[in-house]
Structure formats: C-alpha cells, structure tokens
Structure 1
Amino acid sequence: MSVRSLGYTCLVTQSDLGSEAYYIARGHSYIRQCLDPDLEGTLQHRWRREKKNIPPEVVWSGLRRRFTPGFEDILSSPDRISNIRYDRFDPLQYSIFKWLFIDWLQMELDAYALRINNTRKRRQKHKILPQGGAPNEIEEFPEEFNACNFKASQYMQDAEALYAPPDHETFRKVSPEFELRISRAYASLGNPEVTRARIWNVYMDLLIVLEQEELDGYNLLGFEEPAPPSGEEVEHLETATFPKFH
C-alpha cells in the first residue's frame, strides 16, 4: 500500500525472517531486476536475523507503546460492555467486524504513520543514514540532506500483478455477496461516521439490521484464508534465481 500511494519503491528492502515479507522481497527484487538486468539471480531484500533488524524494531516498539494500548482497549470493549455482542466464531458477527474494523484501523495506522514521519528525529552522532529533518522531508528532498535519490517508479504495476494482485482473495474482507448486503445496510443507517467513540455503536446497528434479514443460503465468508508461505519457502529466497529481464 505504501509503495502504491507514494508512486515509487526504494533501493533495498529489509525485514526479519518473518514469512509476511516473502512477497515483498519477491516483488521488490522483480522491480530492481527489471531496471538493472545485471541483478539477475540476486535478492534485493535484506533478511536480518534476531537483533540485526534494529531500525524497524525501534519503530515497532514505539508503535506498541504509543498506539497499541488505546486501541487494544477499544477492541476489547465486548469483554467489558454487556450490550455489545461479538463472537468471532459467529459468521455474521465476524464478517461485520472485519468489514468495519479493518478499514478503520488502517485509517488510524495511516494517521499515526503520517504524524511520526512528519516529526523531526533527534540527531545521533553514530548514525550514517541521512538525518536533520523529518523522515518525509528527507524522503522527498534527499539532496538537501546529503543523500542520493534511488526512487524507482517503473514496473510497479507488473510486480503488483504478479505478487499482490488486488483481486486476490487475501485482500477480500468478506464475500462479494455479503459486501453488497452490508453496504446496503450501512447506507440505510445514513453512512454513519466511524470514530473511536462510535465504532462499536455502528457495529451493533449493522448487526441488528442484518439479523433482521434472512441470511440462510448466503455465503458470509466466501473463501478460505490462504495459508502463509512456509519457513522453507522464505529461506529459499536467499538463494532464489529470478528470470532474466530485458
């Protein structure tokens, strides 16, 4: 999502050995090899073991301290408030929850990231990466911070089509049929604004509306969530051979 919104990708990506980065590594390497055929057979992603992935871990730690606690409280509201009915093993309630909460939480995370990236960081004398400005300033004007511009804006749509097609079931929160039903229900409520204070109220309003409808025969989920890549697949990336691009 960040690559699509920015319109370009970077020189090298980096992560720990988690399988969630499998297709990021594949897609990014595809782009870099399309731009430079001499990179054939190389992986333009750095796998960092244990405590060697420090910068992302620092950001993650900050997220856990500043962002997560308050939203965990919001998400755990059904455990404290008796008139909120939510059971993740109930297909209807689970589908409403995914449809409503995933986009809202992504919006909150985007706002948090924007705030952090617009905040100037304290200088560190041993740091070799560009500093002296907010991350967004350094990213947009690298030359002003004694840095080079390695942005790549080509072949991104091809990489997305290969490794993250938008119509893949992974990106589908609910079945298309249920999407239509809940969208109509949401519109019938007047398209209420979803905020931290009101999100569970909107959830309950949707639940009441949809419970009044006949749901028998409708496929609420519509698909089985695909299994993540295995550890062997992730490790194989370190020696992966990619096709030659011209």
Structure 2
Amino acid sequence: MPNPSGKNGYISAPPDELIKPVIEQYVARGYSNKEIVSRLRDHYDVDKYNVSLDLLKKRRSQWGLKAARGQHHTITSIAPAIERVRVRFPNQGSHDMKQTLLQEERIMVSRELILEYMNRHHPSEVQARKTHRLKRSIFWTAGLHDLWVYDQHDKWRRFQLYLHVGLEPFSGRTLWLKIWWTNRNPRLICGWYCDTVAALGAMPLLGQSDPGTENNGVANGHTMLRHLHDPHLSQTLQHKFKNKHGNIKPEIFWSQLRKRWSPGFEDILNYGVHNGLYNPDDPLERLVFHFLFIPWLQRELDLFAERFNNSKPRHNIHKALPHGRPNDIFSRPEDFDSKDFSVKVDPALLATVREEYAPAQHPVFRLVPDEFFAQATEFMTALGNPVMDGTNAWSIYMDLLFCFRLLEDPDQIHGFSSVIEQARDEHLPVMELPPCVDDGMVGAGMHPLGSDVSSDAESDQYEFVWTTDEDSE
C-alpha cells in the first residue's frame, strides 16, 4: 500500500540535514552513486524514508558534489594541486595521487588525466614506478577479527622517532598507525590496543606479532581480556609470536608506507639534522622536536591511514576474495560472504586490563613531561600558535627552541630527559602459558580453544597472496 504521507504515494526523502553530511563523506571517499545509495540506508529509517538513485543525482547536482566528469578538470587546472601534493609525496603514483587530491584538495579527477599530466611533466618518475619488484607470500586467515597483527618500524631511529602499526589482515584495515618517541615499551603498545578495543567495543580471537619484548604487553593484555571473558581459555596464551617472515602483512604495509608516504617527510627531517638545526642527542632539542613534530606527523599519518582504509586496491588475480575497500570489508563482512569472529568486550573488564598493563598515568603516554608541556604551550601561545606544515616546521622549531634557551636550566632539562629515558623501555615478561595450537594456518590455531567459534570456521578460511606492487603505475 502506498505511503499516504509521501508525494504521489511514494515514501518521502529524508531531510537534507540528515543525509547531506553523509553523502559528502562518501563522495569524498570516491564511492559511486550506487554504492552511496546502498550505504545511505544505514543512516536513516528505511520504513520512513527512501533515497533513490535519481534523487541522489539530483541532490548532488544541487549541492555541487560533482563527479570527475562534472568537475571538467584539465591538465592545466589540476597542475597546481598536483604540485602541492608532490611537495609532501614526491613518489606518489596515480592511484594514491587520485585519493590524495580527493581527500585534501576536494578535486575529483580520473587516473588517466593524472597519468597524462605525470607523463608530460614527470616522465622519469612514471617510468621508475613501472618497475615491478614482486614479492609474493601466502597469508592465511579465517575471517574478520580472526586475528590482529602488530609490528614496529625503526627506520627513523636517527631522528628519535619510532612507528607502530596494528592491522586487521582479513579486511586489510589499519587499526592504528602511531608515531612516538619510543615503540619499545610494552605498556605503550598495550595502550594502543586497549584504545582500539574500546573504540570498537570488541576484540579479535588472537593477536600476532614478532617475538620482540615490546609485544609482551599486548600479548598479556589480550590474553587476560580473553580469559576474563571466557575462563575456558585460561590455560593458553591467546597470542602468536612469529618471526619476521611469518608476520607478513605488517612487513608489506611498511613497504608501502616507505614508498608512498615517507620520502617527502624524510627529506624535511633530514634537512634539520644535516643543517645543524636538530641534534637528537641534545636533551632540550629532542624535547622541543618531539613536542612539535610528533603531533604534526601523527596528523599526516592519520590522513594516510584514512586514505589507505578507504581506497579500493587494484584487483589482484593472485589474491583470493574479498576485494574492496578495507573499511567496507571491515564494517560489512556479510557483503563479502564472510564472518565476523570478534568478541564483544565488557568495558569494566577492559578497564581492569588497562590498569594492569597500560595504566594511563604511566609516563610513556606523555608526549613530553607535564611541566615542559605547560611551558611549551605558553611559549607557543606567545608565538601566535602557528599551524605547522612542511614549509614552516623548522622555523617554528627554532623559535620555540630560542624561547627555551633564554631560560634554560640544565638540571631541570636533565630531569625532564631522565623521565623520558626511564619510560623508553621496560621489561615486562610474557605470561608463562603454552601457546595456542598452530597447525600452520592462522585461523585454525584458535578453534580448539575458543568456545565462541563456530564449528565450520575452518572451512571458511581465505588464502591471501600479498604483493608489494599495488601502487605501480
């Protein structure tokens, strides 16, 4: 029976203020009109409202949310935006360039036009990216949240900067991508794990990492949380330690980050070190550097992770299903004929684990000591709170360093530095429990132990063959 409240007997459209922000978000992520219509149903009452494909096209036209063809860009019109992006990402291929232009410049343009521009103005770079260096490895997982994998990255040790990543390998989604003044303290890594579990309200069946002691905290924390929710698991460690070649997915992620994100920022950091602006061994310079550069670089990493999670990789014939945007697979596994193996988490039990292994008052969670942070914030206010970017980063650093030099107290700076050094690394032994059963496949190891896993889970395992050339031209 037609809805009498709708125009001409049809269900009425939802209010613009309800759907416009959502549509803008999906357009900015590069979703097609059909994909947007499908996902919009999660944002309004389908019994009360409806958005058809024709209505979406009409609204996008009214709001100026045009597709690539509708924006009518040319090689000349996209040139300034591409060159702005290349300052930070000099090695970006057309796939990443398209996503960056969409995310940061709100420019929707085809890869063909980007390639035409790059072939005309930067042909040597295009040719270099066409060189394929394949590294294929097999990775097994049963489904979404079967396990999470973790790994650290120390390539920026010379700047006293360290990175860490947590991944959900079935969807390929980045759970966290962090930069900090250490990645060796097990309480810090466990803290990032707890933050993610709190945001999702769920945890995986298993964790996996290399055997480094910095991962003992997350191994213990996840195991304790699993035990609290299911006492039947109390005799086993709910974490798997793999050597470098066994923990495949993070290694490939770091390869992609080094190629697609790091070069431009590394040039900026090298400039400060090579020109004597920053000495990582000087306690005061290191504190000022961390105070300014870590938040800025974290914002840039957050943008990269967002692009990564919302970008559909090039179809890979060597990879089993699912194919799609990591965020789509992560949020709607049923659309990809998969299962969600996550375990719902009681916030009170998570708080218990956090207090045991990642207490918020621990100094490792402080960017800099509190007194230094307060003084630096006061100085930055006096300097006008300039917004930091790649063009002014070292100028802001020198201004703030000069302020501290005027009142430098060597004993106080030494005290600040010693607090950081004591928190940089910490010994935390892993639980003395037998490891979970491992018969060679990631998903299979936990089934005999987990009472919350369906009996047919092993039959739904997926094989992924990951390669390192997804961003090649």
1:119 to 311, 318, 322: 311
Q: After superposition, give the CA deviation of every residue in 1:174-231 in whole Å (9 maximum; x if it has no partner).
A: 222111111111111121112122221211111112222253553433513343438x
Count of aligned residue pairs for this structure pair: 235
Answering whether residue 417 of structure 2 is matched by residue 225 of structure 1, we say no
Q: CA deviation at 1:168?
A: 0.6
Q: Percent identity?
A: 37
1:3-48: CA deviation from partner (whole Å, max 9, x where unpaired):
1444433222211222222111111112212221111121222212
SS of corresponding position for 1:13: strand
Match for 1:95 among 244, 269, 287?
A: 287
Query: 1:175, 1:156 → 2: CA distance?
Result: 27
Shift of residue 238 of structure 1?
A: 6.0
Give 1:195's aligned residue.
389
What is the CA RMSD across the aligned residues, in angstroms? 2.5
Contact 2:291 2:367 in 1 (8 A): yes
Whichever residue aligns with residue 183 of structure 1, its letter is: T
Residue 132 (structure 1) aligned with residue 326 (structure 2)? no
Where in structure 2 are the equivalents of 1:37-186 lying within 5 Å? Answer: 37-81=231-275, 85-124=277-316, 127=319, 131-151=322-342, 152-154=344-346, 155-186=349-380
Q: CA deviation at 1:80?
A: 4.1
Q: Does the C-alpha gap of structure 1 residues 205 and 237 become closer, same or farther in structure 2, counting only changes over 3 Å? A: farther
User: Is residue 2:408 matched to residue 1:210?
Assistant: no
Note the residue ranges of structure 1 that are not aligned, 5 or more in a row.
241-246
Instruction: Check the 8 A contact 2:273/2:279 in 1, yes or no.
Output: no
Under a length normalisation based on structure 1, what TM-score does the superposition of the two structures give? 0.83
The SS at the match of 2:417 is coil
Instruction: Call closer, same or farther: CA 1:179–1:60 in 2, change over 3 Å.
Output: same
Residues 134 and 73 of structure 1, relative CA distance in 2, 3 Å threshold: same
- Structure 2's unaligned 5+ residue stretches are 1-191, 436-473
Q: Distance in 2 between matches of 1:171 and 1:193?
A: 24
Distance of aligned partners of 1:50 and 1:91 in 2 relative to their CA distance in 1, 3 Å threshold: closer
Larger relative contact order, structure 1 or 2 (CA cutoff 8 Å, min sep 6): 1
Give the AA of the match of 1:24: V
Report the AA paired with residue 60 of structure 1: W
* 2:373 counterpart letter in structure 1: E
1:6/1:106 CA distance change after superposition, 3 Å: farther
Residue identity in the other structure for 1:56: P
In 2: Cα distance, 1:7 partner to 1:196 partner = 36
- In structure 1, distance between residues paired with 2:295 and 2:432: 31
Larger radius of gyration: 2
Which stretch of the first structure deviates more once superposed, 181-190 or 117-126?
117-126
Choose from 230, 246, 262 the match for 1:36: 230
